[in-house]
């Protein structure tokens, strides 16, 4: 079953909105920078969105202020997405449009700030007493209110697969008739909990991340937000892109390490292909999870080698953005959709020498060409996996 994608956007360290993202990808210009996050002394690189500091929430949602929500609002204003939502409301009504957001940390950064500013009695200062901010559902509360949507609203938090799984949840909502359109998205901002947490697991690199490189040393953490509008497919519509397959699974193998043979990831990929009605060799491009950690990159190539041929182009774009955790799914889905729209197929930035242990060839340089069918993979902590398959509807 097809689901139309009628608009999309993403904001990350690689750029605010699609135009800046395209320029960064085409120019192979990374958004990573040496760590300069306030109150953080880790020797690493990060994907920070500088424009968050100058972004203010509208007055009607000022009570929801925080870094994560500013990032979500900054991204929501790009690429005519709000205008597209207005058209959806005119067509379907505000109560028939749902909101599904993915996040890993939500507004933990704001909570960290609040605890650093406790008064002598141990209470948070008044400006930090924000029950709807210190709340995993905060991004969805904010986005639904700003977009004027009153349909069902949900937040998914399944580590790095969070904002990939929003697509499958939206498809189920549309299929069962709960709504007529869904605004899907994700937002995750930099905070100390994730930086120091991943560092304690010895997963953070002291240099720009190098996905699939033989000398890769770990991940760089980034921040991002992105969105897409999904509706039921209608013959004769103007939609040029569609979601045609999705797969989800859980390894139940280890809290932070993927199954050595990638069995959970493989199950998600197989389910996505089956729903799409495609053979593996029909997929022309795969945006890989590709975090630059030792184990994840190796396991992902095993998954690819077991299903796809060497002619399938596959790359990781985390060298441009860092690993944006709960926003990685939407960011990389948008990058995949835009590759299908523009014909620019990104390579793998910062990878100089592919690890000879890998069982599948990874595309290093950018290429240009038509992509009819593409996949985006998101494999999270705890073995929580998601794979999405998209179709370009016009040549």
We report the CATH number of the domain holding residue 116 as 3.40.47.10
Residue 46 has pLDDT above 70, yes or no: yes
**Predicted TM-score of the model (pTM):** 0.97
**Catalytic-residue membership of 160:** yes
Q: Which residue among 88, 191, 289, 351 is the active-site one?
A: 289
Angstrom CA distances, 350 to 11, 186, 206, 284, stand at: 21, 26, 14, 23
The partner residues of 156 in beta bridges, in order of sequence, read: 102
**Parent domain of 126:** 3-392
**Catalytic-residue membership of 88:** no
Per-residue pLDDT tens over the stretch 369-380: 999 999 999 998
Contact of 331 with 338, CB cutoff 8 Å: no
pLDDT over 90, % of the chain: 93
Helix, strand, coil shares, percent, the chain, to 5? 35, 25, 40
Average confidence (pLDDT) over 234-253 = 88
Per-residue pLDDT tens over the stretch 140-196: 999 999 999 999 999 999 999 999 999 999 999 999 999 999 999 999 999 999 999
Q: Which residue among 88, 259, 323, 351 is the active-site one?
A: 323
- Left (φ > 0), alpha (ψ -120 to 50) or beta: where does 136 sit? alpha
- Total domains in the chain come to 1
Radius of gyration of the chain (CA): 20
Per-residue pLDDT tens over the stretch 84-133: 999 999 999 999 999 999 999 999 999 999 999 999 999 999 999 999 99
Contact of 30 with 208, CB cutoff 8 Å: yes
Q: Which residue among 88, 160, 191, 351 is the active-site one?
A: 160
Average confidence (pLDDT) over 207-213 = 98
pLDDT over 70, % of the chain: 99
């Amino acid at each position: 079953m097809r689901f139309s994608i009628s608009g999309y956007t993403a904001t990350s360290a690689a750029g605010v909105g699609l135009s800046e993202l395209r320029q960064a990808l085409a120019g192979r210009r990374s958004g990573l920078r040496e760590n300069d996050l306030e109150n953080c002394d880790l020797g690493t690189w990060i994907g920070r969105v500088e424009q968050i500091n100058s972004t203010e929430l509208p007055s009607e949602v000022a009570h929801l202020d925080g870094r994560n929500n500013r990032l979500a609002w900054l991204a929501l204003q790009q690429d005519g997405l709000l205008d597209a939502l207005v058209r959806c409301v005119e067509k379907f009504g505000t109560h028939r449009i749902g909101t599904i957001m993915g996040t890993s940390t939500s507004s933990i950064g704001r909570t960290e700030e609040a605890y650093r500013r406790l008064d002598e009695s141990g209470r948070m200062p008044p400006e930090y007493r924000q029950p709807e901010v210190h709340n995993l559902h905060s991004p969805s509360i904010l986005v639904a209110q700003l977009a004027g949507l009153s349909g069902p609203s949900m937040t998914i938090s399944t580590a790095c697969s969070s904002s990939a799984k929003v697509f499958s949840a939206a498809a189920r909502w549309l299929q069962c008739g709960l709504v007529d359109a869904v605004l899907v998205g994700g937002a995750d901002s930099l905070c100390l909990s994730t930086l120091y947490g991943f560092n304690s697991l010895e997963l953070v690199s002291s240099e720009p991340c190098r996905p699939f490189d033989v000398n890769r040393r770990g991940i760089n953490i980034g921040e991002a937000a992105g969105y897409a509008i999904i509706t039921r497919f209608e013959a004769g519509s103007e939609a040029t892109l569609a979601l045609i397959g999705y797969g989800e699974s859980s390894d139940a193998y280890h809290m932070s390490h993927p199954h050595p043979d990638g069995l959970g990831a493989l199950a998600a990929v197989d389910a996505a292909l089956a729903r799409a009605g495609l053979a593996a060799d029909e997929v022309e491009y795969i945006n890989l999870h590709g975090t630059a950690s030792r184990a994840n990159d190796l396991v992902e190539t095993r998954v690819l080698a077991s299903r796809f041929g060497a002619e399938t182009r596959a790359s990781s774009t985390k060298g441009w953005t860092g690993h944006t955790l709960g926003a990685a799914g939407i960011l990389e889905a948008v990058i995949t959709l835009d590759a299908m729209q523009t014909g620019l197929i990104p390579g793998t930035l910062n990878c100089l020498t592919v690890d000879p242990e890998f069982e599948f060839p990874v595309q290093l340089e950018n290429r240009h060409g038509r992509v009819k069918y593409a996949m985006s993979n998101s494999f999270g902590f705890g073995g929580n996996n998601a794979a999405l398959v998209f179709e370009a509807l016009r040549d």
